[in-house]
Chain A
Amino acid sequence: MSELVRVDNLHKSFGELEVLKGIDLTVNAGETVVLLGSSGSGKSTLLRCINFMETPTSGRVHLNGESVGAEVNGTMRYKEADLCKLRARIGMVFQHFNLFPHMTVLQNVMEGQITVLGRGKEEAKDKSMAQLQRVGLADKASEFPARLSGGQKQRVAIARALAMDPEVMLFDEVTSALDPELVGEVLKTMRQLADEGMTMICVTHELGFAYHVANRVLFLNKGLIHEEGEPQKLLKNPKTQRMKEFLDGHALFKLPE
């Protein structure tokens, strides 16, 4: 398996508060990695540093062996154009969907392809329809987002990210804002993606998803990777007290016997 994403000694501070205190992480092509941790552990920040939604305070992020930025007088400087190019190669799905309300579902999925990748209208439309088909929403192509359920919105957001042909997909608590009955359809779509070989890094509280779909689980605590391993082993027999407490805290969580 080839290395797709590598994070070296990543630090991120917001003012005085150091959220990430030196993260090393390698994700191989085709792998699904789940980041677990209580709120404030830094899992979302780590995810957002990978595509530079947040600029790391120090450390490097490599995608397919390349990294952006140059060191000037001991601090990293990034060119906006380089960051845009990098972000176009990384798909991201958010907790609150963030669909563009003034565009139809189809236009939402076409937008990045036309504006960022410079694809022609016809090509973008074909690709968009294919991705909407993939998430099971081709029949909603001409609807505006306001007419969709939360689960449908999130699947459109996934299609929008996929249409850019990303090398890796980042999922930031994508089911946390959904009604419980709608969580399933989104997780099913994600599982299908994982099965098709998409490289995925997911921040989630869905331990069932982590257990069944992830290749690897990382447990973050206080800005560091506290424990990591195969989900079947780690989720059933955490080695550390901290992770055991975290898992016990998920009262609804039941592992298959």
Chain B
Amino acid sequence: MGYNWDFATIFQNWPVFWVGLKGTLLMFGITVVLGMSGGLVVGVLRYLRSPFAAWPARAFVEVFRNTPVLVQIIWFYYAFPILTGIETSPFLAAMLGISLNTMAFSAEIYRAGIQSIEKGQWEAGKAIGMTFAQTMRRIILPVALKRVLPALTNRGIEVFKMSTLASVVAYVETLNQAKLIADLNYNPIESYTAVALIFFVVLYPVVQATYVIERKLSRSDQ
């Protein structure tokens, strides 16, 4: 109870946090785009009837969904170079781990969305002469994507916070910088509290904005 909170040191070290936040944003931006666009491809493949497409997609999803991201990042950093001879930087290892994990999770979200579309929509597209791909692109996906937007938002928030795991291979992001400051100033409590605050301040407005977007998109359903 007698702890003396000292946030002055945190403010003095703001530039260090700022470098970290930029690293966090970069990691998030790349992994969320790669993960969610790649996940769309995997999700559609997963939906296809052809076993040549569906089976590898399923294997991919199961491997990356049932192993911890933290382990994947460590694995890409230490084991991947040994197996392939390709050196992985902390950035590359974390990016691969988080992107592939996001792909696996979002693929399942997309697949569920596609499967939720009524059979009649497929039939209507087919009946006017559309190919499978045209029906998927023009009729099924627009509605399916709208339906899974809340689930994708959730995953996006998760991906943003997952970027902190990159600190395990010393990628320069917010948590990594907090550790640095904590070690130098012996103030871990303030440093890690600052990390929590930074994440909250960045995420909260974004999440509010997605609510507005979801409401706007549901216009045609009323």
List residues of A whose CB falls within 8 A of some B CB: 51, 53, 80-81, 84-92, 94, 96-102, 111-112, 115-117, 144, 146-147, 157, 160-161, 164
A144 to B123, CA, bound (A): 20
Q: Are B128 and A102 in contact (CB under 8 A)?
A: no
Q: Among the listed B127, B131, B220, which residue makes an inter-chain contact with A51, where contact means beta carbons less than 8 Å apart?
A: B127
Q: Among the listed B123, B124, B127, B220, which residue makes an inter-chain contact with A102, where contact means beta carbons less than 8 Å apart?
A: B220
Q: Which residues of A contact B130 (CB under 8 A)?
A: 84, 112, 115-116
A-B contact sample (14 more), CB < 8 A, given A101-B220, A116-B134: A53-B127, A80-B132, A84-B129, A84-B131, A86-B129, A89-B129, A96-B118, A101-B221, A102-B146, A112-B129, A112-B130, A115-B134, A144-B220, A146-B222
A37 to B123, CA, bound (A): 23
B44 contacts A by Cβ under 8 Å = no
**Chain A min CB distance to B168 (Å):** 42
B143 contacts A by Cβ under 8 Å = yes
List residues of B whose CB falls within 8 A of some A CB: 118, 120-121, 123-124, 126-132, 134, 138-139, 142-143, 146, 219-222
Chain B minimum-CB-distance residue to A87:
B129
Q: Which residues of B contact A84 (CB under 8 A)?
A: 129-131
Q: Are A100 and B126 in contact (CB under 8 A)?
A: no
**Chain A min CB distance to B50 (Å):** 13
| Chain A CB within 10 Å, residue with most, of B120, B121, B129, B146 | B129
Q: Which residues of B contact A146 (CB under 8 A)?
A: 220-222
A101 to B146, CA, bound (A): 11
Knowing A102-B146, A115-B134, the reply to whether A164 touches B124 (Cβ < 8 A) is no
Pairs A-B, 6 closest by C-beta atoms: A88-B129, A112-B128, A98-B124, A98-B120, A92-B127, A144-B220
13 A-B residue pairings within 8 Å (CB atoms): A53-B123, A85-B129, A86-B129, A101-B220, A102-B146, A111-B138, A112-B128, A116-B134, A117-B129, A146-B220, A146-B222, A161-B128, A164-B128
Q: Which residues of A contact B121 (CB under 8 A)?
A: 98, 100
Q: Are A87 and B124 in contact (CB under 8 A)?
A: no
Knowing A116-B134, A146-B221, the reply to whether A102 touches B142 (Cβ < 8 A) is yes
Q: Which residues of B contact A80 (CB under 8 A)?
A: 131-132
A102 to B221, CA, bound (A): 8
Q: Among the listed A87, A102, A115, A160, which residue makes an inter-chain contact with B126, where contact means beta carbons less than 8 Å apart?
A: A87
Q: Are A53 and B126 in contact (CB under 8 A)?
A: yes
Knowing A102-B143, A102-B220, the reply to whether A94 touches B126 (Cβ < 8 A) is no
Q: Which residues of A contact B138 (CB under 8 A)?
A: 111, 115
Knowing A102-B143, A102-B146, the reply to whether A116 touches B129 (Cβ < 8 A) is yes
A147 to B126, CA, bound (A): 24
Q: Which residues of B contact A115 (CB under 8 A)?
A: 130, 134, 138
